[in-house]
Amino acid sequence: MGSETTQPVVRSHSTALLIVVAAVLLLPTLARADSNVRRATGKDGTVFTWDDDSVTRTTNVVRTSGVAGVLPNVAIVASAANDALAPWFLDPQTRLVASGAFGTVTVINANAVTPTVAELAAFDAVLVWSNLAFADADLLGDNLAQYVDDGGGVVTATFANSSPDVFDAPGGRWDTHAYEIVIPHGGTSTGAATLGTITQPAHPIMSGVAVFAGGTSSFRPTTTALYPSSQLIASWSDDSTLVAVRDDTVGARVDLGFYPPSDAVLAGFWDATTDGDLLMVNALLYAANRIPLIPGDTDGDNDSDMADYAVFDACFTGANVSPALAGCVTFDFDRDDDIDCDDWFALGHLWSDIQRMPTPMACRSIIPAASEWGLACLILLLLSAGTLLILRSPAGQV
C-alpha cells in the first residue's frame, strides 16, 4: 500500500522535470524567433513590422511592370516600406505605368538591397526617396554618383532630400562630392500646402501641371537653400522647394520636394486628384531624355570655350587634391578625383574658342601655354637659321 502511494509522486516529478527540460531547450528558439522580428517607424509615421527570415522579405525586393521597348525604362529605388509589394511602392509605380510614358517601371526595395552600378545602368532614370533607412546609404550614394557620372538621370524626392537622418539619404560620394540639389539634411516640414509660384513655367517638368495639393501632411524640405548651380522650377505655397534641377552634372539631376505615395495609400498624403503623378512622370522623362554632358563641355553646347574654362578654373584643385565635385566631373579627364594640369592639358586638345585658352598659374611652370610654345619655337627657328647662314657663308664673310 505504501509503495502504491509513492509511484504517482515519482511519475509527477518525472513529468515536471521533462517539462522544465523542454522549456529550457525551447528558450533559445523563442529568443531567436523574437530577434528576427524587425519593427521600424517610417518618416511618414507608419510602423512597419517584418520577419528577416520571411520569404516575402527575400523575394519581393525587385518588381518590374510594363513592356521593354523604345520608351525609357525607369526604376523606383526607394526605402518606402519593408516589402516591394507594399502600397507605398505600388501606388507610385502604378501611376507611372498608367502614364504610358515608360517601357518598364521597376521597383527596387532599397531598404533590403542596394543596386550595383551595373544594375542601375539598365535604366534611363531612377526615382529615389526614403521612408525607412536605406540598406546601405553610403554604398547607394557611391553607386548613384557613378551612375550620374556615366550619364544616368536621378530624381530624388522627400525624405531622401530632406531628412536630417543620414541613413535616410544617399551618402558616400553623393554627399561628399555634392550631387544634391536641395541642401541635404535640412529637415522636413508638414502641414497642408499647395502648388505655389512656378518660376519656369516653360520647363518640361511643368508641362501640363495645373494644380497640386500635398494633403494635410504635405511632406516637403524645410530649407529653401539649393546647391549654387541649381535652378528653382516651382515652389510650394510657403516657398519651399517643390521642383528644382541642376544641369552641370554629366547625367541629369532633379529634386522633387514632395513624398511620392498619394492619399490612395494613406489619408493626408498628396491629393491623387491633382497633378503629383504628372510631376513624377515629367521629372523622370526629363532625367531620362536630357543628353549627358560630354568631356570638357559643362554647359551642353557641344564645344569647349571660355564659358567652360570659367567653370574649369573654379573646379581646379591641383594634383592629388580631392574631390572633383559633381559639377566638375566633365573636366576630370583621367578620373583621378581631382582637376589638375593633366586635365588642363586634355582640355586644350578639345579647345574650340577663338581666344587662347588661359593657363592656370599652377600649370605655367610645368607646361608652357600655347603662345609661349610658339615664341620658343620662333626663337629656335631664328637661331637655327642664323647658324645655317654662318655655316654656309664664305670664310671671313659673316
- Give 384's pLDDT tier (boundaries 50, 70, 90): low
The confidence score (pLDDT) of residue 221 equals 97
Burial class (CB in 10 A: 0-12, 13-18, 19+), 198: middle
- As a whole number of angstroms, the distance between CA 105 and CA 94 comes to 9
C-alpha 133/C-alpha 112 separation (Å) is: 9
Distance of CA 248 to the CA centre of its chain: 14
Distance of alpha carbon 204 from alpha carbon 110, whole angstroms: 28
Bridging pattern class, strands 195-198 and 153-157 = unpaired
Closest CA to 156 of 189, 145, 193: 145
Place of cell 631664328: 382
Per-domain boundaries in the chain: 55-289, 306-367, 369-398
Grid coordinates given for 141: 550614394
Please, are residues 147 and 251 in contact by the beta-carbon 8 Å criterion? yes
- How far apart are the C-alpha atoms of 152 and 121, rounded to whole Å? 7
Parallel, antiparallel, or unpaired for β 241-246 and 230-236?
A: antiparallel
- Whole-number Å distance between alpha carbons of 397 and 300: 62
Give dist(CA 339, CA 325) in Å, integer.
Answer: 9
Q: What is the pLDDT of residues 250-279, one digit of tens each?
A: 999 999 999 999 999 999 999 999 999 999
Strand 73-79 and strand 104-109: the pairing is parallel
For 366-382, how does the pLDDT look when each residue is reduced to its tens digit (9 = 90+)? 754 444 445 555 555 65
Residue 282 above 60 pLDDT?
yes
Q: How far apart are CA 372 and CA 148, in angstroms?
A: 38
Check residue 17 and give its pLDDT: 47
Please give the average per-residue pLDDT across 52-78, as a whole number: 65
Q: What is the 3 state secondary structure string of the chain?
A: CHHHHHHHHHHHHHHHHHHHHHHHHHHHHHHHHHHCEEEEECCCCCEEEEECCCHHHHHCCEEEEECCCCCCEEEEEEECCCCCCCHHHHHHHHHHHHCCCCCEEEEEECCCCCCCHHHHCCCCEEEEEECCCCCCHHHHHHHHHHHHHCCCEEEEECCCCCCCCHHHCCCHHHHHCCCCCECCCCCEECCCCEEEEECCCCCHHHCCCCCCECCCCCCEECCCCECCCEEEEEEECCCCEEEEEECCCCCCEEEECCCCCECCCCCCCECCCCCHHHHHHHHHHHHHHCCCCCCCCCCCCCCCCHHHHHHHHHHCCCCCCCCCCHHHHHHCCCCCCCCCHHHHHHHHHHCCCCCCCCCCHHHHCCCCCHHHHHHHHHHHHHHHHHHHHHHHCCCCCC
Instruction: Give tens-digit pLDDT for 172-229.
Output: 999 999 999 999 889 999 999 999 999 999 999 999 999 999 999 999 999 999 999 9
What mean pLDDT is reported for the chain? 84
The domain 55-289 is classified under which CATH number: 3.10.620.30, 3.40.50.880, 3.55.40.10, 3.40.50.12500? 3.40.50.880
Q: What is the pLDDT at residue 19? A: 44
* Local confidence band at 28 (pLDDT 50, 70, 90 cut-offs): very low
Please report the pLDDT score of residue 50 as a whole number.
58
Q: Over pLDDT 90: what percentage of the chain?
A: 69
